Amino acid sequence: MEARRDHGVRAGAHIGVDGPLPAPLFERFRHEPGDVLPSHDLHMKVVEAEFAYRMGADVAPGASADEVVAAVAGLHLAVEAPDSRYTRFEVVGAAQLIADCACASRFVLGPDVPGWADLDLSTSGTSLWINGAEAATGSGGNVLGDPRVALLWIAADLARYGLHLRAGDVVTTGTTTAPVPIGPGDEVLARFGELGEVALRFAR
């Protein structure tokens, strides 16, 4: 396994857990907006609209909430296409999902958001569009109440594994909508209201 510095938070009834799970994000699965993502090897076949934090400084173990937020260099819009090795990922349980990188797979890191520190992300609306049709709506409030909560949670949880957030890390915070099914050839557009959007397509 290659070294990885990015992290993701995943939670929800759709994977059979009632709390957040940490996961590494792998550089070889990172994409840019507008990319064509492979589709032949996807098992879960869903996409998620997310907020992602980019760290500008290391976060020491035991850091306060204010110190964690102060270490953030920027906020990005993102889309994840989670996946799992398990056929019935929704019933295997949290321990097995963590061992499976909590379904972390391909993700698209979109544009950064100016003035993010002054935004109330809990009320920021989001939507996912598939082939020009709206498929799901949500908001930052669906991420543990606020994406900042997910950031603070993973900053604290990593200490259990002898890890910590470091400068340059990207932290995806969890889906803002219900996961939306996709298939080969589908065009995906994640809209984040006035904050911007992220587009991608899956190969046929």
Q: Is the pLDDT of residue 34 over 70?
A: yes
Q: Are 135 and 112 in contact (CB under 8 A)?
A: no
Residues in CB range of 196: below 8 A, 6 or more apart:
77, 110, 111, 113
**What number is the average pLDDT over the span 125-140?**
98
Q: How much is the CA Rg of the chain, to the nearest whole Å?
A: 16
Query: Cα separation of 197 and 182, whole Å?
Result: 18
Q: Which residue has the higher pLDDT, 81 or 104?
A: 81
Question: Which pLDDT tens digit goes with each residue over 59-81?
Answer: 998 999 999 999 999 999 999 99
**86: pLDDT strictly greater than 70:** no
Q: Which residues contact 124 (CB under 8 A, 6 or more apart)?
A: 51, 139, 140, 192, 193, 195
Q: Give residue limits of the domains in the chain.
A: 6-202
More confident residue, 27 or 50: 50
The CA-based angle 26-67-123, given to 5 degrees, is 75
pLDDT of residue 114: 96
pLDDT digits (tens, 9 = 90+) for 36-55: 999 988 888 999 999 999 99
Question: Distances in Å between the alpha carbon of 37 and those of 16, 22, 32, 192?
Answer: 26, 24, 10, 21
Mean pLDDT of the chain: 88
Q: Which of 22-26, 52-56, 73-77, 141-145 has the lowest mean pLDDT?
A: 22-26
Indicate the pLDDT class of residue 126, thresholds 50, 70 and 90: very high
**Tell me: domain 6-202, CATH 3.40.50.300, correct?**
no
Residue 65: its pLDDT value, please? 96
